[in-house]
Amino acid sequence: EVQVLESGGGLVQPGGSLRLSCAASGFTFSSYAMSWVRQAPGKGLEWVSAITGSGGSTFYADSVKGRFTISRDSSKNTLYLQMNSLRAEDTAVYYCAKCHTGSYYMTYWGQGTLVTVSS
Amino acid sequence: EIVMTQSPATLSVSPGERTTLSCRASQSVSSNLAWYQQKPGQAPRLLIYGASTRATGIPARFSGSGSGTEFTLTISSLQSEDFAVYYCQQYNNWPPSTFGPGTKVDIK
């Protein structure tokens, strides 16, 4: 059974940093691209970042480019999102998602982890 | 960036009724369009990909159609568990991949 489980969310002050993790199981992790998608309270879905199965290519939304870094460790079957220079508008539930091979739609989603940026 | 719009924003439907949700792209996305369902407090779930292919385990009452810029999601006979928010997503021209604002289907 495919599972992805996020962790690392919490309360952080503006300008601070946080690293999210996503533990994956039930599939060959290195064969699939992975994405992060966020959802601000009461709002819709916003794609944040994606990484290819090999980790060789990464992609970012303009809203986080230069502040967030996506990475993966295939030895640990874990996806990461390093978030720096956090702003109030980054407050959201962050979902980790497995992407379909060769296409960037999300086939399996985790339950999400809440990041709150506030002083 | 491709902008996705969805209509209506809210749809009030009685159980057993047929309902159609619309999604429009600001430019052609071919058939690279997915639909997701999200219930309160839950993660989104993939329903449809490739504009018309049901994902694994999705009941046959859900169907998708369209290509280019106009897409629809049809639920043939609404069940109680189908009351949720539905999002479309284009994955043709990316990054970024973009989502529509969602359509909330609630009980009439």
Average pLDDT score, chain B: 96
In sequence order, what are the residues at sequence separation of 6 or more whose Cβ sits closer than 8 angstroms to the Cβ of residue B19?
B11, B13, B74, B75, B78, B105
Contact criterion met (CB < 8 Å) for A62 and B96 = yes
Please provide the size of chain A in residues: 119
pLDDT at A2: 94
pLDDT at B83: 93
Candidates A35, A45, A51, A107: best to mutate against B (most CBs of B within 10 A) is: A45
User: A105 near A1, Cβ under 8 Å?
Assistant: no
Contact criterion met (CB < 8 Å) for A45 and B36 = yes
| Nearest chain B Cα distance for residue A74, angstroms | 23
Query: What residue in B sits closest to A104 (Cα-Cα)?
Result: B91
pLDDT at B96: 87
Tell which residue, B68, B76, B60, has the closest CA to residue B21.
Answer: B76
- Calpha distance B11→B104 (Å, rounded): 6
Tell which residue, B97, B3, B35, has the closest CA to residue A35.
Answer: B97
Q: In the structure encoding, which two tokens stand for residue A41, read together? A: 């309270």
pLDDT at A102: 78
| CB nearest to A105's CB, from B45, B49, B96 | B49
Q: Return per-residue pLDDT of chain B as tens, 108 residues.
A: 999 999 999 999 999 999 999 999 999 999 999 999 999 999 999 999 999 999 999 999 999 999 999 999 999 999 999 999 999 999 998 788 999 999 999 988
Q: Return per-residue pLDDT of chain A as tens, 119 residues.
A: 999 999 999 999 999 999 999 999 999 999 999 999 999 999 999 999 999 999 999 999 999 999 999 999 999 999 999 999 999 999 999 999 999 977 889 999 999 999 999 99
pLDDT at A101: 79
Per-residue pLDDT reduced to its tens digit, B25-54: 999 999 999 999 999 999 999 999 999 999
CA contacts within 13 A on the Cβ side of B82:
26
Query: Over the range B28-56, which residues count as b (16 or more CB within 10 Å of their CB) and which as e?
Result: ebebbbbbbbbeeeebbbbbbbbbbebbe
Query: What residue in A sits closest to B36 (Cα-Cα)?
Result: A106
Which residues does chain A have within 8 Å of residue B32's beta carbon, measured at their own beta carbons? 103, 105
Contact criterion met (CB < 8 Å) for B43 and A112 = yes
pLDDT at B46: 98
pLDDT at B93: 84
How does DSSP assign A29-57, residue by residue? GGGS-EEEEEE-TT--EEEEEEE-TTS--
pLDDT at B79: 94
Q: Which positions in chain B have a beta carbon within 8 angstroms of at least one beta carbon in chain A?
A: 32, 34, 36, 38, 42-46, 49, 55, 87, 89, 91, 94-102
pLDDT at B41: 93
pLDDT at A33: 94
